[in-house]
């Protein structure tokens, strides 16, 4: 069984490891043995555990899962030349990663929180010779899309990387709306979750504008509610959300 080495033992490392644990041996490198043990327990399979200081990544296949601000510090603690590094760090350029970690090959991957349920939308870019391996590896946690530039990956970060948080805002506020009109909170949550489950399927095959046309009857409830969303500039706010997130990615 091939070994995949995670540097970082946070949420994203655990989510990705869950998708890979049946096909690969998992090694995790962190700063704290207790946290590594907790990671192993949550993953539910035996892993190799190692502390970061003086850890050699020589010839290893690494998934890099620390925060963007940690790159320089981690680079001073580990050594060796990795076979390939897959970095999930938002907004952290191939150039910066290469300068600090100098692996043989480098890929940027942008998963999202749905990795924890095997349904991440993950975008990829970097060394073309590892495109197939990248698609196979990150394919274990959901859908992948190879992009031709880092700019597009940073835009995709503002769309699908951050997207679960945007949709969570919509989900919570729609449920609040139902509670405001008198529905019990618990019932509103069940109805909201059912809405998202069905919508998640429908949107795979139907263009959003046609989906909306299919729901909206002349003079009906949807037209009334939809008008309120337009009054609230929800469309413009969504466009601005992706713009600001993309800009932030270029600053990290
Ligand atoms: N969360 C998400 O939805 C997504 C996150 N990402 C990216 O994934 C990366 C990890 O995020 P996530 O897993 O959510 O974050 P977590 O906070 O859960 O994990 C961060 C990891 O970085 C380690 N770390 C923190 N500071 C240092 C340091 N100074 N030196 C070495 N290691 C350090 C932490 O170690 P310790 O446990 O010891 O503190 C931990 O293992 C980020 O770069 C983010 O941009 C990408 C897509 C989606
Ligand atoms: O907010 C962040 O920086 C990370 C990147 C994508 C999702 N969360």
Write out the H or E segment, with its range, that includes residue 27.
strand 25-30
Q: Which ligand is nearest to the CA of 109?
A: 1
Q: What is the pTM of this model?
A: 0.94
Per-residue confidence (pLDDT) for residue 116, from 0 to 100:
86
What pLDDT, in 10s, does the model give residues 27-59? Answer: 999 999 999 999 999 999 999 999 999 999 999
Per-residue confidence (pLDDT) for residue 243, from 0 to 100:
98
Q: Please tell me the residue having the least CA distance from ligand 2 atom 5.
A: 90
Q: Which of 95, 161, 150 is nearest to 125 (CA)?
A: 150
Whether residue 252 is predicted with pLDDT greater than 90 in this model: the reply is: no
Q: What percent of the chain has pLDDT over 90?
A: 97
- Which long-range contacts does 164-173 make (Cβ < 8 Å, 24+ apart)? 164/112, 164/113, 164/114, 166/238, 166/241, 167/196, 171/196
Q: Please tell me the residue having the least CA distance from ligand 2 atom 3.
A: 90
Q: What is the mean pLDDT of residues 161-180?
A: 98
Q: Which ligand is nearest to the CA of 108?
A: 1
Supply the mean pLDDT for the chain. Answer: 97
Per-residue confidence (pLDDT) for residue 9, from 0 to 100:
98
Residues 183/208/114/65 CA torsion (nearest 10 deg):
-130
Q: Which of 12, 55, 71, 111 to mutate to test the pocket of ligand 1 (most atoms within 8 A of CB)?
A: 12
Residue 67: pLDDT band (50, 70, 90) is: very high
Per-residue confidence (pLDDT) for residue 149, from 0 to 100:
97
Q: Please tell me the residue having the least CA distance from ligand 1 atom 24.
A: 66
Per-residue confidence (pLDDT) for residue 234, from 0 to 100:
97
9 is in an annotated binding site: yes
- The domains found in the chain, sorted by start residue, are 3-147 (3.40.50.720), 163-251 (1.10.3730.10)
Please state the φ and ψ torsions of residue 247, each to the nearest 5 degrees: -60, -40
């Amino acid at each position: 069984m091939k070994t995949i080495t995670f540097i970082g033992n946070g949420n994203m490392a655990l989510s990705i490891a869950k998708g890979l644990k049946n096909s690969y041996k998992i090694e995790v490198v962190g700063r704290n043995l207790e946290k590594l043990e907790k990671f192993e327990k949550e993953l539910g399979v035996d892993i190799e555990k190692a502390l970061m200081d003086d850890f050699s990544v020589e010839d290893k296949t690494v998934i890099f899962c620390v925060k963007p601000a940690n790159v320089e510090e981690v680079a001073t603690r580990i050594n060796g030349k990795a076979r390939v590094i897959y970095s999930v760090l938002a907004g952290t350029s191939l150039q910066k990663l290469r300068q600090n970690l100098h692996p043989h090959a480098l890929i940027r991957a942008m998963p999202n929180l749905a990795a924890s349920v095997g349904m991440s939308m993950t975008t990829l870019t970097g060394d073309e010779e590892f495109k197939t391996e990248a698609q196979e590896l990150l394919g274990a946690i959901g859908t992948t899309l190879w992009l031709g530039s880092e700019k597009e990956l940073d835009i995709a970060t503002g769309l699908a990387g951050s997207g679960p948080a945007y949709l969570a805002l919509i989900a919570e506020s729609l449920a609040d709306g139902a509670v405001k009109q008198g529905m019990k909170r618990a019932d509103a949550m069940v109805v909201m979750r059912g809405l998202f489950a069905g919508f998640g399927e429908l949107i795979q095959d139907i263009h959003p504008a046609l989906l909306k046309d299919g729901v909206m009857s002349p003079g009906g409830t949807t037209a009334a509610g939809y008008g309120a969303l337009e009054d609230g500039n929800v469309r413009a706010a969504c466009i601005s959300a992706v713009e600001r997130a993309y800009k932030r990615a270029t600053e990290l």
